[in-house]
Amino acid sequence: MYVVGVDAGGTSTRACAVDSGMRVLGTGRAGGANPNSHPPEKAASAIAEAVAAATVDLDRAELGDCVVGMAGSSKLTDPAVAALFERTWREAGFDVTPQVVSDAETAFASATDAPDGTVLVSGTGSIAGRIRDRRMVSVSGGYGWLLGDEGSGFWIGREAVRATLDALSRDEALAGGETPTRGEPLGTLTSSVLAEAGVDAAEPRAFHLLITAVNQDTPVHLARFAPLVSAAAASDPVAARIADDAADRLTDIAIAARDTDEETPIVLVGSVLGTGNPVRTRIHERLQGCDMRESKDGVLGAAWLAALEGFGQHVPHPNRVG
């Protein structure tokens, strides 16, 4: 018998088949499978395709359990969507119904074998989850770009654009309504924001052109400006302030997801919390003394959860498998 774990993301889906010792037997990859950002039938097909690739050399009758960590898993609360996924799975030739969980749960499982703790996610969006018995039982934040996502890549990118507009509007005020003149040289961050948006910093209409350029894209694409904050935070005070504010807000939602004096692990997930990111560094400073972990690989977290179901609690954690 073997089990399969799936990491079903917005841009790609990965599957991994493992045995009782967490030895990888096969892997597979397909397109994005987030049913919130893709048509449900496409998302369902991507999962089936990735699992089929991971099990191409294995006997499908030997598949014991399958756990899918999915971004947008709440979509499956819609009975029609759930039925579509089930039908696609059966048509692909699999007899075992996969257990779908949040990708935050599989990320937590990839980093630690502790059953309880907190997962803090900051990529394009942000959320903190309270983990109990390896399941997310409540959340803090996670309201989406319109209502929240503080400290996320979207939020950081938006703050970078707003700071640039503030700098440009001060120039217009200094010019007294005439052709704007630079009151002070633009900083590293504001200059890089204009360059990313394709706006010439010397253009008198730069303020209006930046607004136009940003509004031509969907709001979530503001996240593309977030790496500019990371790159400038060490030398640009505006970028440093944005990184400070992001860390404060992410720390707040992480603490809100925990009990007072809780000592369980906090697992960091997402591009904003990656190694070398100034926001990550600041969060470590703010949560000094906490047991901080880094998410390793969501697909292995999903495979381990499947292995616990299929083989029992003795299965070694991926971090302990050489």
pLDDT in tens, 254-277: 999 999 889 999 999 988 998 899
Count of domains observed in the chain? 2
Please list the alpha-helical segments (H only) found in the chain: 40-54, 79-91, 103-111, 153-174, 188-197, 206-215, 226-232, 237-256, 278-286, 298-311
Tokens describing residue 278:
């100034």
pLDDT for 172: 57
Helix (H, G, I), strand (E, B) or coil at 68: strand
Question: Strand pairing of 266-269 and 292-294?
Answer: parallel
Q: Are residues 123 and 244 both part of a single domain?
A: yes
pLDDT for 285: 95
Residue 274 belongs to a domain: no
Residue 278 belongs to a domain: no
pLDDT digits (tens, 9 = 90+) for 293-313: 988 788 999 999 999 999 998
Domain edge (last residue) among 264, 286, 309: 264
Q: What is the CATH number of the domain that holds 103?
A: 3.30.420.40
Q: Are residues 105 and 220 both part of a single domain?
A: no
Helix (H, G, I), strand (E, B) or coil at 166: helix
Domain that holds residue 94: 2-114+295-320
Q: Which residues contact 151 (CB under 8 A, 6 or more apart)?
A: 122, 126, 245, 246, 247, 248, 249, 250, 253, 272, 279
pLDDT for 173: 52
Residue 272 belongs to a domain: no
| Other residues' Cβ atoms within 10 Å of the Cβ of residue 276 | 7
Q: Are residues 102 and 17 both part of a single domain?
A: yes
Q: Please report the DSSP string for 96-136 in residue order.
A: SPPEEEEHHHHHHHHH---SSEEEEEESSSEEEEEEETTEE
Residue 249 belongs to a domain: yes
Q: Using a cut of 0.85, tell me whether the model's pTM lies above it.
A: no
pLDDT for 225: 96
pLDDT for 8: 87
Residue 232 belongs to a domain: yes
pLDDT for 184: 57
Q: Are residues 164 and 208 both part of a single domain?
A: yes
Q: Are residues 203 and 314 both part of a single domain?
A: no
| Other residues' Cβ atoms within 10 Å of the Cβ of residue 27 | 15
pLDDT for 244: 97
For residue 7, the surrounding DSSP H or E stretch is strand 2-8
Q: Are residues 98 and 142 both part of a single domain?
A: no
Q: Are residues 90 and 184 both part of a single domain?
A: no
Q: Are residues 70 and 133 both part of a single domain?
A: no
Q: Which residues contact 134 (CB under 8 A, 6 or more apart)?
A: 105, 108, 109, 115, 305, 308
Q: Which residues contact 248 (CB under 8 A, 6 or more apart)?
A: 151, 286
Tally the residues of the chain: 322
Residue 271 belongs to a domain: no
Q: Are residues 254 and 119 both part of a single domain?
A: yes
Q: Which residues of the chain are modeled with pLDDT < 50?
A: 174-175, 179-182
Domain edge (last residue) among 249, 264, 279: 264
Q: Are residues 201 and 239 both part of a single domain?
A: yes
Q: Are residues 130 and 76 both part of a single domain?
A: no
pLDDT for 180: 47
pLDDT for 179: 47
Residue with tokens 């394009």: 124
pLDDT for 322: 61
Helix axes 103-111, 298-311, angle to 10 degrees: 80
Q: Which residues contact 7 (CB under 8 A, 6 or more apart)?
A: 13, 14, 15, 69, 103, 106, 297, 298, 299, 301, 302
Alpha carbon distance 185, 248 (integer Å): 29
Q: Which residues contact 53 (CB under 8 A, 6 or more apart)?
A: 15, 26, 27, 28, 29, 30
Residue 269 belongs to a domain: no
Q: Are residues 144 and 257 both part of a single domain?
A: yes
Residue 285 belongs to a domain: no
pLDDT for 55: 93
Helix (H, G, I), strand (E, B) or coil at 148: coil
